[in-house]
Each structure stands twice: as C-alpha cells, then as structure tokens.
Amino acid sequence: MVSRPDAFLLFFILPPLLFVLFKRYKRGKRDLTAIGGKWRSGLLMDVFLIKWFFSSLLITLFVIFSILSLAEFTGGGKTTAEPSSGIDLVFTVDISGSMLGTDVYPSRLKRSTDLISAFVENLPGERFGLVVFKGSGIKIIPITEDSSSLNTVLPYLNPDMFSSKGSNLETGITTAVNSFTSGEERKKIVLVFTDGESFSGSTSLLAKEAKMKDVSIIIFGTGTDQGTELYNQSGEPVLDNKGNIVISRQNRALLQELALSENIFYLNISDSSVLNNSLDIINKQAGASVINNKESQYQFFLSAAILFLFLYISVRIFPWKNTF
C-alpha cells in the first residue's frame, strides 16, 4: 500500500535524466577519440563504456529508489485489538398514537420505556441520550452520564407531547444519529422503539448515513402481527373514516427490511430473551476494535538508494586499469 502516490510523478524526471546520460556518453566518446588517438582508442573506449554504463545504471537506480522511498510503501505490521473507550446509546422512541396499543403488555410504549430502564441498569458507566418522534424527531436529553435524568423523563412520554400525526421514522433516526458528539472514540449505537405503523419518510439513505458515521442501529419492533384495537389516553376508541375502531399492527416487514443492512439489527420486543439478545449485540458492536498497525517500508528503499549512490561515487572516483 502506498501512502503518498503523488511521489510517483517524480518518475517523469527519468526521461530527461536518461537523455543527459546518453549525451554525456556521446560527448565522452568524441573527446576520448580526440585525446587518445587511434593507437589507444580501443583500450580507452572499453574502459569508458564500462564505467559509463555502471555509473549511469547506478545513478538511475538511486533516483528510482529515492522516489520509492518518498512514496512510503506500507505493509506488514502487527494486528492489534484495542478495547472500546465506552459506549454512547441514544434511545429513540416512537410516541405516535399506535404505541398505546395493548397487544404488548401493558402497552407498546410502556414496554419500550421499561426496556430502556433495563438497559440503563445493565450498562452502568455508559452514556445515554433520548430522542422521541412522531411527525418529526426531537432530542429530549443530550448524551449524558446522568442516567437519573433519563429515568425521570421516561414515565412522561406519551402521544400528547406533540400535536403532529403519523410516525416519521426517518427523522427520528436521523435526529438520533446526529446527536452523537463527533471526534470521540466511543461506540455509537441507536436503539429504536417503534411499531412502524403510519410510516412516513424515506429510509433508503438511513443505512448509508449510519454506516458513514459509524453508528449501529438496533430496532425493537413493538406490537404483534395480529394487532389490537386502538384507544386514546382517555380510553376512547380511535375510529377510522368509516367509523370503525382502528386495528394497529406491527409493520414487521418494513422494520426487517431496514435490518438487511450490516449495521442495522431487528429484534421483536415481545421475545422473552430480547434484553439478553440486545445486550449481546451491543457488546459485540462495542467490542475490541481490530487495528492493523502497518509499518512504513521507506527504510528499505532509502537504504538501497544510499547504497546505489555510494557505488556510483566509487565507480566515478576510482580509476580502472590505471586510466581513468
């Protein structure tokens, strides 16, 4: 691997160098013929040709290996594993009306906040943030080590916090991804709690943006495939345009489609082992990072260049057959 490929532009000096060396050969040959005369031309010319050839070859090799040294080839080295310096988790909670569905006891929203409290309890010393979303995403708690502030807010999450309708998953996750502090070597993980219903927004760029910012996402699907009748916080049924009670179901297909990306995971919040499974994912994502400390190999090329320069000087200085 080359650290400075722009150094290869210096190879353009080779043609002029070879041209100069050839001109020196032609001029030297002409001068020897004029100085030595015909009776010594054979001996002088043989020695001159040999010295010119080796000196030209050595100075050319000196230039080539000097350029290769400047290019800084890297390779080899040791692969090491450095432990993570910590984890930042941003809980991203859907607070749309469908999250009041009771097909997950005691409700989708309450089950989500209970699981968040379990995460805080099982991940002491880590940092947490909170984002909620309906029609838009809003950061409620910036990333902090103060878990008590998070536990204080969780019981008050409800659909009446915002008047907007729908569930814009895109803005919720985007707000969470942008909540992390840049420049810190901590593992960044977004935990999303949603049923995926009344979905709006586009998720096509979410995976690319999360991967670009080195953020992992765990989606917790709330609700069941069978669904449940929806009632608002006052206990009144939620009716559709035809006057029928709305049946809300988890949009499992959408959430699983998102999890096809390598940095996004899907879990069903109703699974009994959801906490352990998600903690395993978090620990794996935040595990030791593998780093290949590649060594620069410029020393080899630089040493060879110095050797060729020394040999070039030796060929030029020391006389051959007591002539020159």
Confidence of residue 209 (pLDDT cuts 50, 70, 90): confident
Question: Is-contact 286 187, C-beta < 8 A?
Answer: yes
Annotate 222-257 with b (16+ C-beta within 10 A) or e (fewer).
Answer: bbbeebbebbeeeeeebeeeeeeebebbbbbebbee
In terms of DSSP bridges, do strands 127-133 and 264-268 run parallel, antiparallel, or are they unpaired? unpaired
Percentage helix, strand, coil for the chain under 3-state DSSP, each rounded to 5: 50, 25, 30
DSSP string, 34-54: HHHHHHHHHHHHHHHHHHHHH
Query: In angstroms, rounded to a whole number, what is the distance separating the alpha carbons of residues 300 and 294?
Result: 15
Q: What per-residue confidence (pLDDT) applies to 5?
A: 80
Q: Is the pLDDT of residue 191 over 60?
A: yes
Query: In angstroms, rounded to a whole number, what is the distance separating the alpha carbons of residues 162 and 145?
Result: 27
Q: What per-residue confidence (pLDDT) applies to 202?
A: 63
Q: What per-residue confidence (pLDDT) applies to 252?
A: 93
Confidence of residue 77 (pLDDT cuts 50, 70, 90): low
Confidence of residue 79 (pLDDT cuts 50, 70, 90): very low
Q: What per-residue confidence (pLDDT) applies to 163?
A: 77
Residues 6+ apart with CB under 8 A from 11: 64, 67
Instruction: State what percent of residues in the chain have pLDDT above 70.
Output: 85
Confidence of residue 113 (pLDDT cuts 50, 70, 90): very high
As given in the structure block, the two tokens for residue 295 are 């060594």
Q: What per-residue confidence (pLDDT) applies to 30?
A: 77
Question: Is-contact 215 189, C-beta < 8 A?
Answer: yes
Backbone CA torsion sign across 172, 178, 181, 182: positive
In terms of DSSP bridges, do strands 228-229 and 289-296 run parallel, antiparallel, or are they unpaired? unpaired
Q: Is the pLDDT of residue 14 over 60?
A: yes
As beta bridge partners, residue 81 has: 290
Backbone CA torsion sign across 293, 294, 296, 301: positive
Q: Return the top range by mean pLDDT from 79-88, 188-197, 255-264, 289-298.
A: 188-197
Whole-model pTM? 0.63
Which one is predicted more confidently, 211 or 131? 131
Q: Return the top range by mean pLDDT from 8-12, 92-96, 169-173, 203-207.
A: 92-96
Strands (E) in the chain, as ranges, are 74-82, 87-94, 127-133, 137-144, 167-168, 187-194, 199-200, 215-221, 228-229, 247-248, 264-268, 289-296
Q: What per-residue confidence (pLDDT) applies to 251?
A: 92
pLDDT tens digit sequence for 285-319: 887 444 455 566 778 888 998 998 888 888 877 76
DSSP string, 288-310: PEEEEEEEE-HHHHHHHHHHHHH
Which one is predicted more confidently, 298 or 23? 23
Q: What per-residue confidence (pLDDT) applies to 156?
A: 94
pLDDT tens digit sequence for 232-285: 888 889 888 888 999 999 999 989 988 888 889 999 999 999 999 999 999 888
Q: What per-residue confidence (pLDDT) applies to 235?
A: 86
Question: Is-contact 237 229, C-beta < 8 A?
Answer: yes
Instruction: State what percent of residues in the chain have pLDDT above 90.
Output: 42
Question: Is-contact 136 168, C-beta < 8 A?
Answer: yes
Q: What per-residue confidence (pLDDT) applies to 40?
A: 54
Question: Is-contact 81 288, C-beta < 8 A?
Answer: yes
CA of 205: how far to CAs of 20, 23, 89, 173, 211, in Å? Answer: 57, 62, 21, 11, 10
Q: What per-residue confidence (pLDDT) applies to 81?
A: 44
Q: Which of 73-77, 148-152, 162-166, 220-224 has the lowest mean pLDDT?
A: 73-77
For residue 23, with 0-12 CB atoms within 10 Å meaning exposed, 13-18 middle and 19 or more buried, which class applies?
exposed
